[in-house]
Amino acid sequence: MNRLEFSIPPFLSVAWVSEEALKHWQPIFKQLNQALIDTTLSGVAQGVWNSRRIRIPGAAVMKLPETAKALGLAVRSTQTGLPGEKGPVFHDVVIQLRHTSQPGDTAGIPDCCVARHNEMQGNARQESIWESAEATPGRKFDTDTITLHGGYVHGAVWHKLLVNPFSYPLCHLYCPTTLRLTTEHLEWMRAESHAGLADIWADMAHWPAEWNASHGICEMRTPVVKLAYETDATDRPFRVRFDGTAWPTHGAFGLDFPYRSPERKRMTDSQSFKNGVDLLRNL
């Protein structure tokens, strides 16, 4: 990927595919964000994980220091972007027990993903989806498009709208350690009375989606919402397609990936065709 020497100021545009999709998914995503934050905090407090690194969009971070203190947790929160820069706000939050040592630079990052983290930091990259997709076993590569199947680590696909519970550049998109941590997190959510939200979060790893970056602008298309935001500037489009088999309520129909094409009855299914065949048989 050839990176250009300019950057776009931070912005975020959120376009729901329909009024129905917005009404259905927006409240669910709000609940999901809170459940992901709460279960990360309670999981570290109760020793499920030693430390975690999550990214929180918007104002959802506000109550976190108070909750963390009550649970005996040490938290290091860093706002993304440059100081004084205007635009949407995100926080990278490292969480661990207070009586352990202060969170180090790579706390919460699995050993297998540390090299990717260092590479991205060294190059001041904003996103690592392309590099992680390129390194993914079994991915298909066609010119500037990489395609892979569902069941991948999907936090980065949604990180502009939802909490990314594993916020670090991945060694690859089926990183075994992060997938194991995801399973643990889902089990913990179910144990903490969030079974319905855990099912939705798990299902979303199987929705089709497309990450498309060109000239510093990323378009992330999912069946229910389309996001546009600033990313690393490149001289031509790069695309990662996540080919999923699950389909959300109120997902959009359309001819372009990742939308589902409108189902048309095949001619052989029509009653007049069957009547015609019967007539021929009886001749």
- If binding is defined by CB under 5 A, does position 120 make contact with Zn ion? no
What is the DSSP pairing of strand 51-57 with strand 12-16?
Answer: unpaired
> What is the CB-side half-sphere exposure of residue 211 using CA atoms within 13 A?
24
104's tokens: 């180090």
- If binding is defined by CB under 5 A, does position 153 make contact with Zn ion? no
Among 56, 120, 133, 171, binds Zn ion (CB under 5 A): 171
234 forms beta bridges with: 3
Site stretch for Zn ion (CB under 5 A), options 28-36, 90-98, 166-174, 259-267:
166-174
Q: How far is the CB of 187 from Zn ion (least distance, A)?
A: 20
* Smaller CB separation from Zn ion, 55 or 194: 55
Q: How far is the CB of 132 from Zn ion (least distance, A)?
A: 9
- If binding is defined by CB under 5 A, does position 218 make contact with Zn ion? no
Among 21, 64, 113, 146, binds Zn ion (CB under 5 A): 113
Q: Give dist(CA 80, CA 257) in Å, integer.
A: 31
Q: List, in order, residues 6 or more apart from 11 with CB less than 8 Å away.
A: 87, 88, 228, 229, 230
Among 32, 175, 204, 240, binds Zn ion (CB under 5 A): 175
Q: Give dist(CA 44, CA 200) in Å, integer.
A: 22
- If binding is defined by CB under 5 A, does position 109 make contact with Zn ion? no
- If binding is defined by CB under 5 A, does position 112 make contact with Zn ion? yes
| Residue 179 CB neighbours (<10 A) | 17
- If binding is defined by CB under 5 A, does position 107 make contact with Zn ion? no
* Smaller CB separation from Zn ion, 180 or 215: 180
Q: How far is the CB of 174 from Zn ion (least distance, A)?
A: 9
* Smaller CB separation from Zn ion, 12 or 112: 112
Q: List, in order, residues 6 or more apart from 168 with CB less than 8 Å away.
A: 53, 108, 109, 110, 113, 116, 117
* Smaller CB separation from Zn ion, 48 or 112: 112
Handedness of CA 162, 164, 170, 172 (dihedral sign): negative
Binding site for Zn ion (CB under 5 A): 110, 112-113, 171, 175
